[in-house]
């Protein structure tokens, strides 16, 4: 109980670094999506949350690229809450598999 009170008191202090917002400017985009069918759907859904660098630096999965990208898109939607419409999921998976699955 005493530790909790000390922590709460520290958090309430004026000028506490925990209460100060941090400004962050991300670095400039260094990569572009490769041309392909439904690139605009991919750009609109994937680039809204992370950079293209994040997509293209994923490990190349030579054995089961479709399974890899299916799991990645499902994770983005279910775990991270990406607002991807159900009808766009197969288009995104097709693009990522064809473009970055080799």
Instruction: State the CATH number of the domain containing residue 88.
Output: 1.10.760.10
* Residue 56 in domain: yes
* Residue 20 in domain: no
Q: Which domain holds residue 95?
A: 29-100
Higher pLDDT, 18 or 51: 51
For residues 89 and 67, give the distance between their C-alpha atoms in angstroms, rounded to a whole number: 13
* Residue 5 in domain: no
- pLDDT given for residue 47 in this prediction: 86
Report the percent of the chain where pLDDT is more than 90. Answer: 48
Cβ atoms of 39 and 95 closer than 8 Å: yes
For residues 74 and 81, give the distance between their C-alpha atoms in angstroms, rounded to a whole number: 10
- pLDDT given for residue 9 in this prediction: 58
Entry field: residues in the chain: 102
Q: Please, is 1 exposed, middle or buried when counting C-beta atoms within 10 Å of its C-beta (0-12, 13-18, 19+)?
A: exposed
- The pLDDT confidence band at residue 29, using thresholds 50, 70 and 90, is confident
Whether the full predicted model's pTM is greater than 0.75, yes or no, is no
Q: Which whole number is the average pLDDT over 22-50?
A: 87
* Residue 77 in domain: yes
pLDDT digits (tens, 9 = 90+) for 46-67: 988 888 988 888 887 778 999 9
Structural domain total, the chain? 1
């Amino acid at each position: 109980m005493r530790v909790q009170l000390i922590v709460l008191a520290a958090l309430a202090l004026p000028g506490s670094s925990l209460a100060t917002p941090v400004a962050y400017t991300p670095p400039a985009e260094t990569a572009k999506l490769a041309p392909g069918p439904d690139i605009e759907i991919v750009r609109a859904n994937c680039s809204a949350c992370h950079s293209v660098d994040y997509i293209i630096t994923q490990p190349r999965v030579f054995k089961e690229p479709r399974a890899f990208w299916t799991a990645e898109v499902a994770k983005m939607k279910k775990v991270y809450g990406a607002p991807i419409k159900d009808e766009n999921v197969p288009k995104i998976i097709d693009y990522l598999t064809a473009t970055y699955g080799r």
